Amino acid sequence: VELLKEKIRLEGKVLSDMVLKVDSFINHQVDPVLVMEIGKAFAKAFEDEHITKVLTIESSGIQFAMGTALALGVPFVYAKKKKAITQSSDLYSASVESFTRNETYQITLSKQFLTPNDRVLIVDDFLATGAALVGLIGMIRESGAALAGAGIVIEKSFQEGRKLIEDAGVRICSLARIASMSPGEIHFIEELKTSSVK
Amino acid sequence: VELLKEKIRLEGKVLSDMVLKVDSFINHQVDPVLVMEIGKAFAKAFEDEHITKVLTIESSGIQFAMGTALALGVPFVYAKKKKAITQSSDLYSASVESFTRNETYQITLSKQFLTPNDRVLIVDDFLATGAALVGLIGMIRESGAALAGAGIVIEKSFQEGRKLIEDAGVRICSLARIASMSPGEIHFIEELKTSSVK
């Protein structure tokens, strides 16, 4: 998905060594054509995995889960940050520390939507500390479902999340891996595998 | 979108006269094929309006905004319930009282994503009290953008939202209008216009 790196270069704003703002096309205003390209890239990367369900976390993972689930022809589920009155009481839950909001919140998922028969692909917009992914992985393991891997739109490879998730034995496909950044400069990790995905 | 009403009949759970649970295909687990049908129906209903942007509110509006924006070939934007550290300080904001969560929250939208040149279609999963829509309409009016109308997946027509939004001069296309409901029973308002949308 070269279009993604191009957009990050053109429209992304590096606010500090740690914070990348991509809210004109990823997580506030959203380019649905780019989202579908990303969804197709994840579907292709995991095409041999017989995925039955895509899992993400509200809110900014939802559009990418939607695009990926549509490309794979399966439903998606999103873990919720607040319990709705319509939600069942039979829930998986996990604590997640947010990097961009500097707070800890509880995520929940109704148990009926993850079963031991599922083969799950996690999708999210960012991988930084890996906290959200660790929460989702815990829920999947508790459910007895198989975890096929994680599709990540933008990975900040200089933070600890990538290693944490790989050490947990989870296959990761990140479409844009940022080696380092500073205001005005973004350096991507170029990978044969990622580069060949279009 | 007859498939939508069928799904509501088959999978929807009426928890009380006021609360309909559709979390197996609308707002927790999501059926992406149904979402695309819904998006195409909204795109068709507003095809003469020269829409430039779809607007929704996180979280459960996002998948429908994504489907609609993809069908229309325009970007979408979602108002946020919490301010992210990456968000600009130049924001529209509004207070919204949540019916399903029984609380008031602040929604925000970066000003750069709504301009006087935009023709906006609002999309949301539910219309009940109309509180979220009133908040979004206020932001659009403040921006000087034109409001083409609102596409609603499920309207609880026995609550006050429909009248409130129509009185504000906004055209509404609701795909499933519920006249009344009680545990085990759902009665839809059948409309020529809605029924002819497929």
Locate A5 and state its tokens.
């790196």
pLDDT band, very low/low/confident/very high, at A170 (cuts 50, 70, 90): very high
- Is there a contact between A153 and A126 (Cβ–Cβ < 8 Å)? yes
Helices (H) and strands (E) in chain B — how many of each?
6, 11
Q: What is the DSSP letter of A81?
A: S
> Region A163-180: what's the mean pLDDT?
97
Work out the minimum CA distance from B4 to partner chain A, whole angstroms: 15
Quickly list H helices, chain B: 2-11, 32-45, 62-72, 131-143, 161-167, 192-196
* Interchain contact, A82 vs B101, CB within 8 Å: yes
Query: Do the strands B53-57 and A103-110 form a parallel or antiparallel pair, or are they unpaired?
Result: unpaired
CA B153, B157, B161, B164 torsion-angle sign: positive
Name which of B25, B66, B80 is nearest A32 (Cβ-Cβ): B66
Q: Average pLDDT, stretch A117-125?
A: 98
Long-range contacts at B94-98 (CB < 8 A, ≥ 24 apart): B94/B134, B94/B135, B94/B136, B94/B138, B94/B139, B95/B135, B96/B57, B96/B131, B96/B132, B96/B134, B96/B135, B97/B129, B97/B131, B98/B131, B98/B132
Question: pLDDT of A124-140, one tens digit each?
Answer: 999 999 999 999 999 99
pLDDT under 50: residue ranges of chain B: 192-198
Q: Does the CA dihedral B169-B175-B178-B179 come out positive or negative?
A: positive
Instruction: Look up residue B153 and give its amino acid.
Output: V
> If you count them, how many residues does chain B have?
198
Rg from Cα positions in chain A: 16
Tens digit of each residue's pLDDT (9 = 90 or more) over A55-101: 999 999 999 999 999 999 999 999 999 866 677 789 999 999 886 67
Contact by Cβ (8 Å): B121, B171: no
**In the prediction, which pLDDT does A84 show?**
67
Inter-chain contact B102–A85, Cβ cutoff 8 Å? yes
Q: Is the CB of A31 inside 8 Å of chain B's CB atoms?
A: yes
Helix (H, G, I), strand (E, B) or coil at B41: helix
| pLDDT at residue A101 in the model | 72
B172-182 and B146-156 as β-strands: parallel, antiparallel, unpaired? parallel
Nearest chain B CA: its distance from A141 CA (Å): 18
ipTM exceeds 0.95, yes or no:
no
A132 touching B, CB under 8 A?
Answer: no
Higher pLDDT, A198 or A167: A167
The total of other beta-carbon atoms located within 10 Å of residue A182's CB is: 10
Residue in chain B lying closest to A99 (CA): B85
Largest CA distance in chain B: 48
Contact assessment for residue B130 and residue B138, using Cβ atoms and an 8 Å cutoff: no
CA distances to A14, A16, A182 from A20, in Å: 5, 7, 9
CA dihedral A69, A71, A73, A76 (to 10 degrees): 0
Q: What is the pLDDT of residue B84?
A: 67
State pLDDT tens for residues A2-32.
999 999 999 999 999 999 999 999 999 999 9
Which pLDDT score, from 0 to 100, does residue A124 have?
Answer: 98
Nearest neighbour of A84 by CB, restricted to B33, B67, B100:
B100
**How far B37 CA lies from chain A's nearest CA (Å)?**
12
pLDDT band for A192, please (50, 70, 90 cuts).
very low
Kindly determine whether residue B80 and residue A59, on different chains, have CB atoms separated by under 8 Å.
Answer: yes
What pTM value is reported for the model?
0.94
